[in-house]
Homo-oligomer: A and B are copies of this chain.
Amino acid sequence: MKNALPQIVITLSLPAWLERALPPPDTAFPAVEDRMRFVIGLAERNSAAGTGGPFAAAVFNGGTGRLIAVGVNLVTSLNSSIAHAEIIAIMLAQQWAGTYDLGGSGLPPLELVSSAEPCAMCLGAIPWSGVRRLVCGATGEDVTGIGFDEGAKPAIWQRELEERGIAVMQNVCRAEAAAVLRRYAEQGGIIYNARQGKASDRMRPDAAQ
């Protein structure tokens, strides 16, 4: 860990099980519930494989339902707090598209399907990504209910997305999505919040503990 020289390459590899879990090329998921169930299945497998938190996401062609990119939470296995499912899926979709704007001309309307309501970081990432719609399974309450911190979101985050032209659909297969979260917690999965959400006094000697 003590390499003297700052590193300048980051490689994020998805786990081997995920490659095997991918459907045949160009598989389409016409109904939004089909898309969500596929994503919930990835969250369940990620949890069972121990490769990260119980969260998955995918980018689909919102018209045809064709799968474009997948992502699972890889915080613990990649040692990266940035490696949330939505971030991975957006990065892979942009790599596929060859552009930083998934809403750019020449692309079909793309949607991000997430097994759970995004945290503050991922919510902030969504407008920059260019996706046209966000579909969520479990709610923020389901996520915080097992101990994860969702961060400081705008009070009405749905409106913030909608004002930027991103439609929001919530509670799609919520019970199935929430069940994956509960199983993860029951089986002792790592709740990996930095410092468990507690304040540090190391750089704030005056901070209340």
Interface residues of A (CB under 8 A from B): 1, 3-14, 18-19, 22, 25-26, 62, 67-70, 75-76, 78-83, 87-88, 90-92, 94-104, 109, 111, 119-125, 127-130, 132-133, 149, 151-154, 157, 160, 162-165, 167, 192-195, 197-204, 207
Seed contacts A79-B94, A124-B125, A162-B204; 8 additional CB < 8 Å A-B pairs: A7-B95, A8-B14, A82-B82, A104-B195, A109-B200, A109-B202, A127-B149, A133-B203
Q: Is the CB of A128 within 8 A of B81?
A: yes
- Quickly give the copy total for this chain: 2
Q: Do A163 and B100 touch (CB < 8 A)?
A: no
- Chain B residues near A194 (CB-CB < 8 A): 100-103, 127-130
Q: How far is the CB of A76 from the nearest CB of chain B, in Å?
A: 7
> Contact between B197 and A164 (Cβ–Cβ < 8 Å)?
yes
Chain B residues lying within 8 Å of A10, measured Cβ to Cβ, are: 10-13, 88, 91-92, 95
Q: Which B residues lie within 8 Å of A128 (CB)?
A: 81-82, 119, 121, 151, 193-194
Tell me which of B9, B70, B202 contacts A11 (CB under 8 A): B9
A82 near B25: Cβ-Cβ < 8 Å: no
